[in-house]
Structures are given as structure tokens and as C-alpha cells.
Amino acid sequence: MRKEILERQAKAMQAQGLDAMVSCSPENFAYATGFVVPSQPLIRHRHAMVIVSASASAAIFAVDMEESTIKRREPDVPRRIWKEFSDDAMAVLASQLTELGLAGGKIGIEMDYLPAGDFARLQAALPKAAFVSCEHILARLRQIKNPEEIALLRRLSLIADHAIADAISSVKAGDTEMDIAGHLTRNIYELGAEQFKLLIIATGDRSRLPNVGPTDRVLVRGDVCRVEIFAVIGGYQAGVCRTAVVQEAPPMADEIWRQLVECKYQILDMVKPGASCRAVYNAFIEKLSKANLPPISFVGHGIGLHLHEEPYLGKTPILGQIDADALIEENMVLGFEPLCYETGYGFGMQNKDMLLVTATGSELLSSYTDTDRLLVIQ
């Protein structure tokens, strides 16, 4: 268990008058333990949870299929194992909460993850307990990274950046998007990632599509190529996107790219503790407008155990608040992505990076590739 994280959760519970919090999602299980239960993100009913008390003690609730993995990773943490094909998981969880002295407690639980039917059965099994949503508490805690998380996200940023750069340098005109994908996925593992998420390879006219995977489309002279991947270790992820051209840039590509690079440096200059998320976004939108490029909903967001975490550098409401703003804080890690999918010239462009908010400003974490000019595929 990650002692510092448990202590932070306990402090937050004490402030909210909670007796315990139950982390139900793969992301918040990993937040407490440092690892993801392998099949939980794939099979939603395979519940794995961490129960953290207001005194910072912890216990694990998990499916029998994953008992050996959990025992190896957390041999000294009390655990209750439920049988996938014969137990009612919520009845077993209710029994465990009762044994922990929480049958009549005020318990935070991730209501945005736990299925409604499961929650109804849990409530029925513990009628004296008061369940309240706690996902917003955990989301707020995760916004501020500790040194261990920062070191991991720095490593992941360089892995993703390096892997894309090597993949782009390994292909040529006449190769396919699948060839890029083959080099990229091999590179991700060779550089030390455990897995990856959201592989995007979009070339030519397909570069206008936000989230598409590779096809057998052949690279031809003048293509714009968007390549993005999220490298993952221990549930944490860093997303990087690079844009390249095949042999030569099509008309207006260099000029549009210059505008997006200026946006990148503008954001790096503006991001610092106390800065307004909305102000950073508005400055970006103003610059796009002057370049006659269409606006987008956000230009950055927190990142860590989720692909997108609060805060958003955009017009998106913060934690459900209408027209809310948020202030940037030291030790936040943000993914930021000056982009334009619909340039009006038949291609889209994107430059996604990772940054750390420092005491005095920001640090570019995805610093392997020089993106001041478009990358070129020969």
C-alpha cells in the first residue's frame, strides 16, 4: 500500500466527516496500491476495491480469480476474497464492512463507477450505513502529484515521445499506417512501458479524424500524419502526439504548424501556480481565431490514472460546476495539445505534450523530440 496516499485520503475523510472510503474503480484501486488488478478494467463485475478508514488503515476486497496476484503484491494487507460464480459480491462486501466496524458508518463510495444494481444490494445489506459519493474527493486528491508519481509520469512521457519519434523515423513513403503501428508498439515495450492505451495513427485525409486507429492506408508524398499513444506503467499514463509530413509539407501546413508551436510556448509560459485554467484556454482560442482556425473545447487537462482528469484548460465545467474556473497548482501534471482537426486544407494537426507545474512555472516532460518544425518521413 502507498502510505502517503492513504494518509492523504484519511485527512480528506476527516475533513468530510467520513468513517471510510471504498475505492471501486481500477484507477483508484491503483491510486492506493500502486498497481491495477489485471482483469478488472476488462470485466466490470470482477470487483476489486480498497477500503481505507479515516485512521489510514486499509483492507482489500477482491474476486477469487485475482487473489494470487493481489496476495503477491500486497501480502500483508487484510483481504476478503469473493467467489465469482457462487457469491453475491455485495453481500461479501457488506460482511467485510461490518467486520471493520462500518455497518453504521458514513462511507464514501465511487457512485460514478459502481453499477446501480450492485449499489442497491449493498445498501439493502447495510441499511444503517450512510453511503455518499466520494469520487470527487479522490479526483481532487489525484490532481496534485507526489514525487513518486511525478517521476513515473516523467518517465512515461519520454517513453511515449521516444517511441513515436523512432516509429516515424523507421517508415517511408509507400509504407502503411500499420507499419507505423508495428514499430510504435514494439518501441513502447522495448522502452519499458507495461502496456499502452489509445493508439492513434491518422494520415492524409484521415488526419482530420480525432481518435482513429491504424489502417492499411499507404503513405504518399505530401501526407500529414498524426501519431499518438499513451504509455502505461502501474495504471499511470502519459499521452504524446506528434505530427509529421511525408517527404514534403502540403500547402499551408508549415504556417499552421508555426501557429500551433507558438501556442505551445504560450501555454508553457502561462502555466504556473495560481494561473487561471480558463485564462490559458481563452488565450489559446484567441490565437486560433487570429489564425482563422476553428476553436476546440479545451487545450489541456490533468492526467495520471485517467486519460483525462481535472482540471481542464477549457470551457468544460470543473467537477460539474456551471461556468466554473480552476486555478493551476504546483505539482499538477497536465497533458496539453494545441491542435486543429479541421484546418480547411484537408488535413488535421496536433502537438500533444506533457508538462509539470513547478513552483515558478512549468517544465516540459515530453522533451525527447524537437517539435519546433514538422517531422519529416522520407
Q: Is the pLDDT of residue 207 over 70?
A: yes
Q: Which residues pair with 239 in a beta bridge?
A: 230
Q: Distance between CA 254 and CA 149 in Å, rounded? A: 36
Q: Distance between CA 376 and CA 249 in Å, rounded? A: 8
Map residue 245 onto helix, strand or coil.
strand
- CA of residue 58 relative to chain centroid, distance: 25
Q: Is the pLDDT of residue 102 over 70?
A: yes
Q: How confident is the model at residue 37 (pLDDT cuts 50, 70, 90)?
A: very high
Q: Is the pLDDT of residue 290 over 60?
A: yes
Q: What is the mean pLDDT of residues 65-73?
A: 97
Q: Which residues contact 103 (CB under 8 A, 6 or more apart)?
A: 94, 97, 126, 128, 129
Q: What is the pLDDT of residue 14?
A: 98
Closest to 294 measured CA to CA, from 249, 250, 345: 345
Closest to 204 measured CA to CA, from 191, 192, 217, 213: 217
- Tell me if the pTM is above 0.85: yes
Q: How confident is the model at residue 321 (pLDDT cuts 50, 70, 90)?
A: low
Q: What is the pLDDT of residue 323?
A: 57
Q: What is the mean pLDDT of residues 314-340?
A: 82
Q: What is the mean pLDDT of residues 136-141?
A: 97
Pairing of strands 236-246, 375-377: parallel
Q: What is the pLDDT of residue 88?
A: 97
Q: Which residues contact 321 (CB under 8 A, 6 or more apart)?
A: none
Q: What is the pLDDT of residue 188?
A: 98
Q: Distance between CA 232 and CA 27 in Å, rounded? A: 12
Q: What is the pLDDT of residue 318?
A: 52
Percent of the chain topping pLDDT 70: 98
Q: What is the pLDDT of residue 320?
A: 53
Q: Which three cell numbers stand for residue 243?
A: 505530427
Q: Is the pLDDT of residue 373 over 60?
A: yes
Q: How confident is the model at residue 219 (pLDDT cuts 50, 70, 90)?
A: very high
Q: Is the pLDDT of residue 86 over 60?
A: yes
Residue with cell 485564462: 279
Q: Which three cell numbers stand for residue 122?
A: 449493498
Query: Cis ω on the peptide bond leading into residue 311 (within 30° of 0)?
Result: yes
Q: What is the mean pLDDT of residues 296-322?
A: 83
Q: What is the pLDDT of residue 317?
A: 54
Instruction: Give me the long-range contacts of 317-326 (CB less than 8 A, separation at least 24).
Output: 318/277, 319/136, 319/139, 319/140, 325/276, 325/277, 325/278, 326/276, 326/277
Q: Is the pLDDT of residue 106 over 80?
A: yes
